[in-house]
């Protein structure tokens, strides 16, 4: 399949969320990437349920919600209620990951797991068949605009090999420092979904930038 683009709304203009949501609607992007941070799991706070609902009100594409929070199990049903189509939880924040994944799927969402840069893909060996997607963090989670961690490329290659060896259709998403150069390298390594925030929203023409990422 052709790779997907999921622009990160963390980098949008919060004072013009409707405008930027409608821009993504009209673009060649595939999903909305929405980062939820609690100030505990990561040193930042972003996007509570009201913001999620505000984006959902105008969005015409799937909402790809990435939880960087402690105890995500407590909020699974709320995220479904507020419009999440794909719900990503961090391996590092889930004591009982299999139970969390089942809860997400039972709520009617696609389940994904994110790995921090220091976490090896081997931790997903047993749970991989249960996942719609794995999110590889190519920066340390918490803030946009960070420099791409080049070791992520090898991580994507190894994860792609693991998925292929198990004959699965699990997607690989990458978030952090994505631009035209790192994006091309990631696609070549086996990534299926690129998340781009500041590269899109800080560009002179976000629509053209999204087209560029889509054409890699």
Q: Give the C-alpha separation, 164 to 181, whole Å.
A: 25
* 3-state secondary structure (DSSP) of residue 30: coil
* b/e burial code for range 101-123 (CB count within 10 A of at least 16 → b): bebbbebebbbbbbbbeebebee
Laid out side by side, the sheet with 63-68 consists of: 4-7, 193-196, 171-175, 133-137, 110-115, 86-90, 63-68, 32-38, 45-46
Instruction: Give the Cα-Cα-Cα angle 156, 159, 160 (nearest 5 degrees).
Output: 85
**Residues carrying an active site annotation:** 35, 175
* 3-state secondary structure (DSSP) of residue 41: coil
């Amino acid at each position: 399949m052709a790779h997907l683009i999921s622009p990160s709304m963390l980098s949008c203009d919060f004072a013009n969320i409707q405008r930027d949501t409608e821009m993504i609607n009209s673009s060649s992007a595939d999903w909305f990437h929405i980062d939820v941070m609690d100030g505990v799991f990561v040193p930042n706070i972003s996007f509570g349920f009201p913001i999620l609902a505000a984006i959902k009100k105008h969005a015409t594409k799937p909402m790809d919600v990435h939880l960087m929070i402690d105890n995500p199990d407590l909020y699974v049903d709320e995220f479904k209620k507020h419009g999440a189509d794909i719900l990503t939880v961090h391996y590092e924040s889930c004591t009982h990951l299999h139970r969390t994944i089942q809860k997400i799927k039972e709520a009617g969402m696609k389940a994904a797991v994110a790995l921090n840069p220091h976490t090896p893909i081997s931790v997903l060996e047993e749970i991989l068949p249960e996942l719609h997607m794995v999110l590889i963090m190519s920066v340390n989670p918490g803030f946009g605009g960070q420099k791409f961690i080049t070791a992520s490329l090898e991580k994507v290659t190894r994860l792609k090999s693991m998925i292929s060896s198990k004959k699965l259709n699990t997607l690989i998403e990458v978030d952090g420092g994505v631009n035209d150069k790192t994006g091309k390298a990631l696609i070549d390594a086996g990534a299926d979904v690129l998340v781009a925030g500041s590269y899109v929203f800080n560009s002179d023409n976000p629509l053209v930038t999204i087209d560029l990422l889509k054409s890699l």
